[in-house]
Structures are given as C-alpha cells and as structure tokens.
Structure 1
C-alpha cells in the first residue's frame, strides 16, 4: 500500500546530508576544543541546538548518515489527525518487516508513536512478552493485530 506524503520520510537534500554526516563523524569522539566550531556549523545547517556531548557515541549505536537523517526527519514527525487504520497497519508492517533503510523504518516507528496513543508501543512491536507480562509469550503478531492491540489495550507490565 502506498502511503501519503505526510506519512513518508521527507526527501532530503543529499548534499546537506553528506556535509552533516561528515561533521558528525568529526565531532563524534573528537576533542571538544577542536570541534566546537563544527558543532556550531552543524547546528546552523541542521537548525538544531546540539551540544558537543550529543555527538559522542553515535558511532556505537548507528552510522552517522542514519543519525543525521533521523535528526533532519524530526520536524516531520507529528500527529496526522486523519490517519487511517489502513495507514497505521502499513506503517506497522514496514516497521515489523524492516521494509526500508534503517532511517526510513525509524521514521515510520516514530510516526506510529505520535499517532497511536499507546506509550508502550515499542514493547508491543519488539517485546510483546514484556508488553503482556508473559515470559513465554511466543505469538508472532501481524501488523493488523499489533495496530488493533495498540489502539485497544493497555499494557500490563511496567517497562
């Protein structure tokens, strides 16, 4: 199913992504005094207000290109008042099947989080045994089931 533009990762200026990726690589694990001007440049180009420490350890969690894309996607992550159940199911499918690049899948996960009123959505998707507080929960949920449960249940366990 095709998703409308509000539910798709925005098209990014690839030259900007490349520049910001390069800056973030230099800042990550760099020395504060030697990279402070790069932090300022990054913030100016990305319209962010990161501190030197915000860049430390990016490489340990994901590649810099993915991190930059997620930063640039952030202003587009917002509730869509008329989102349909079918659209939620399609985003859920893309997340559950990792259908796309990591930054795209993350975009859809974030969109689900702001459009589905369930603060434990991530547990439902990736750790249903924690969500339902059943250690041996082994049922694999379909995207349709996950959306239905997210919209209609309250988690039992405390995260």
Structure 2
C-alpha cells in the first residue's frame, strides 16, 4: 500500500533542492577541512541549511552522515517535516504501517513514514513495535511474532491513548506491556 497522498512530504522546488545540495557539499567539505571541528563558518552554513530544512539539523548529524546514509538520502530527509495530523484516519495509519513494513519507498521515505507514526502516536514507540516487538512487549520470545498493520495501529492507539475516530474494534492478540 502506498503512502497516502496527503501525508507525503511536499517536494522542494528545483532551485531549493539545488541550493540545499550545494550547502550540503560546502558543509561536508568544511567539516573535512576542519577535521570534524565545529567553527563559525560551518555554523553559518548549517544555519542557512536549517532555514530551508523541514527540521533543524545539528553539527553532529553532518559529521556522522556517511556512516548512516548516502548524501542523496540525507538531502531528501531535509525536506521531510514531522507533522501531527489531527484528522488522521485508521486507513491512513494502516497505509503508513504497510509502507514501513514492506519498505515500499526509499530509506528516507520509510524513515519519514515512521516519524509520522511516532509523531502521531506519542509515547507508543512505533519503531520498536514494528522492528523489535520483543523489546516493545518486553518478551524476548516475541521477536518474530506476526502482527498485522491494523493490529499494529491498534496497539499504537492503545499505548498512546490516541484513538482514531474511524478505527474498528480490533481484538489485540497479545496483552499490552505493563509500564515498568
């Protein structure tokens, strides 16, 4: 299932994309030249970057970028803005979950979809529930449990105390973890 259209990030204009690509190169070159030390020139470039980015980035994110992702993915993440969707539907939440579980997009798109779930279901830790259910449930034997997207969303709603208005009644196959 694709990411719902209204939840997709707004793409930047070609001019802004080119500017951000050039800024990224300048920042990384400055970091390389200064061997990882923060300085006023780098800070000014990061400030300029942040004026166009969907969220503020910090020096250390540029410093360690290559150990986590490609420059292209890093650039794409700059345009992803975490947002709380007041009228998020159950179907949209399930579509985001499917998108993540099936890795239907680029790395940055999957990260963006995950951040949408994390933002819209605070304190529920969607990442652990999807990728590390054993950690989420607090049971080492639950690493490979099969949980459907509707069930994942039902767990997120229950854990975050954020019910979605159009959510059907879903019987959860496993007990919610106890607060510890």
Seen in structure 2, the aligned counterparts of structure 1 residues 40 and 157 have a Cα distance that, compared at 3 Å, is same
List runs of 5+ in structure 2 lacking aligned partners: 160-175
- 2:158 equivalent among 148, 152, 157: 152
Q: Can you list the C-alpha shifts for 1:25-79, whole angstroms capped at 9, x where unaligned?
A: 3245441679753542342143166554442111111112222322332xx3111
- 1:40 equivalent among 35, 41, 44: 44
Seen in structure 2, the aligned counterparts of structure 1 residues 64 and 83 have a Cα distance that, compared at 3 Å, is same
- Please give the alpha-carbon distance, in whole angstroms, between the structure 2 residues aligned to 1:30 and 1:120: 38
Matched, 1:141 2:147: yes
List runs of 5+ in structure 1 lacking aligned partners: none
- Please give the alpha-carbon distance, in whole angstroms, between the structure 2 residues aligned to 1:152 and 1:127: 18
Count, aligned residues: 155
- Please give the alpha-carbon distance, in whole angstroms, between the structure 2 residues aligned to 1:52 and 1:127: 29
Deviation at 1:151, TM superposition (A): 1.0
Deviation at 1:22, TM superposition (A): 1.8
Map 1:44-83; keep pairs closer than 5 Å: 44-47=48-51, 52-73=59-80, 76-83=81-88
Q: Can you list the C-alpha shifts for 1:105-130, whole angstroms capped at 9, x where unaligned?
A: 11111111111234322110110011
Seen in structure 2, the aligned counterparts of structure 1 residues 23 and 37 have a Cα distance that, compared at 3 Å, is same
TM-score, normalised by the number of residues in structure 1: 0.80
TM-score, normalised by the number of residues in structure 2: 0.72
Aligned-residue Cα RMSD (Å) equals 2.7
